[in-house]
Amino acid sequence: MNHLLPEKDAKVVLEILTEELGVEQSQLTTDARLKEDLGADSLSLVEINMALEDRFNLSIPDERLERVQTVGEIFELLAEMLQSPGRR
């Protein structure tokens, strides 16, 4: 499913999503929509954001996160942020 992040990082993202959303990993397809398909609400999105920031030691701007609607877009966002120069 993921070709943007190293396998260990992708696994962590999937673990965070399954835990925070209470879904099976098989539901986490690239085009699965966080709210409509996986039942995410504003609180679970905040929890996902906090978990990702903590695990990957970065700060995700709210306006950037608000544009994320699918599981695939989470991978894209993280790949982009992890490759940014001076992110730490």
Asked if the 32-82 domain carries CATH number 1.10.10.10, the reply is no
- Domain residue ranges of the chain, discontinuous segments joined by +: 32-82
What pLDDT does residue 66 have? 86
| Residue 4: Cβ-neighbour burial (10 angstroms; 0-12, 13-18, 19+) | middle
29-49: pLDDT as tens digits: 999 999 999 999 999 999 999
Residue 82 has pLDDT above 70, yes or no: yes
What pLDDT does residue 62 have? 84
41 as an active site residue: the answer is yes
Mean pLDDT, the chain, integer:
91
Residue 88 has pLDDT above 60, yes or no: no
State the catalytic residue, choosing from 9, 31, 37, 41: 41
